[in-house]
Amino acid sequence: MQRFWGYLSVIIATMLFGLWNTFSKILLGYLNPLTLSALEYSIAGVFLFIVYISPLNKKIITKLDTNSESEPFITRKEYGILLITAILGAFLAPYIYLNGLNQITAVNASLLMNVEILFVVIIGIFFLKERFVKEDILGFLLIITGTVFLATNGQITNFPASQIIGTLLIVTAAFLWSIDTSLSKFISKKRELLFVSAIKCSIGGFSLLTLALIFHESFTLPVKELPYLLFIGLIIVGFSFVLVYFAIKKIGSTRTGSLFSLASLFGAIFAYIILGESFTITQLFFGFLMLLGVYVFYKNENSSVQ
């Protein structure tokens, strides 16, 4: 049952990331990528620290810490890992990603994030020595097939040159997030996941905020757009970190990173519904192909050794 909650957590996180992609695209019409990423992660960090020092923290930890495997203390080495993941996943990756998102459509940016699965799998197998049962290969093939067709819209040999820079930025961000996800395995077993997430968001957010202030970037945002920013900072960014850490604890970093490719499908759907961007039946088909890959993962997880 605990494995089920791990899968559910990562799926909820992917839905939140899909919303983040769409709402951020809206806000990029008013704020540049540096300012936007700084505000999103700073708000998330402050909010998580408030929750951490409140009575609510104990209730959340009780729900998350359902076994005796959680470790109560963070070592100096683990603080080092946390710093690295904060720099990669909460500082560099979001800034680079939002720059890419600013140059291409939200649907394309979402679908291109599927490339993260390839990086996560490579890191997991060759560097973290995670193992899989043979049946998992089918799940990977389904997700990768969906990835290729979704990311290129079936035009594998005719990818628009005008989108190359934005595409490279999205792929770079995906690579950084894949390292973040893989390294997070070493701190995901901590009991205080809210504390860990708060530190991570704060390091990234306030570092970006410092740069934005140094470069005298504008923070002007229409009041009507403020709910988008608050929802991203208070709900999407902060709790996504908590959910991802919890998922890694339950099902491993490679599976979590692989399943996180579903964020691209949700992002494309939200961009279609909210922004009115193009999303074809073919794209929908290959999106469901990826969902089938998720089912294969879940079906075989009891047989896998991580």
Global confidence as pTM: 0.84
Tell me, what's the pLDDT at 123?
80
Q: Tell me the H-state helices in the chain.
A: 2-27, 33-53, 56-64, 76-87, 93-101, 106-112, 116-126, 136-152, 164-183, 193-214, 226-231, 238-251, 253-259, 262-270, 281-300
The answer to whether 188 touches 248, Cβ cutoff 8 Å, is yes
Q: How many domains does the chain have?
A: 1
Residue 245: domain span: 2-303
Q: Rounded to a whole number, what is the distance in angstroms from the first to the last CA of the chain?
A: 17
What is the C-alpha separation between 166 and 99, in angstroms, rounded?
A: 7
Give the tokens for residue 249.
């604890």
Tell me, what's the pLDDT at 129?
65
Tell me, what's the pLDDT at 304?
47
What is the C-alpha separation between 139 and 145, in angstroms, rounded?
A: 10
- Which residues, 6+ apart, have CB-to-CB distance to 282 below 8 Å? 149, 153, 154
Tell me, what's the pLDDT at 217?
95
Tell me, what's the pLDDT at 131?
64
pLDDT per residue rounded down to tens, the chain (306 residues) = 667 878 888 889 999 999 999 999 999 999 999 999 999 999 999 999 999 999 887 777 776 665 546 677 788 899 999 999 999 999 999 999 999 999 988 988 887 887 777 787 778 767 766 666 677 778 778 877 876 776 666 665 555 655 678 888 998 999 999 899 888 878 877 767 888 889 999 999 999 999 999 999 999 999 999 999 999 999 999 888 788 878 887 887 667 776 777 787 888 889 999 999 887 788 778 877 877 877 776 676 545 444
- Which residues, 6+ apart, have CB-to-CB distance to 51 below 8 Å? 57, 60, 194, 198
How wide is the angle at C-alpha 223 spanned by C-alphas 15 and 235, nearest 5°? 25
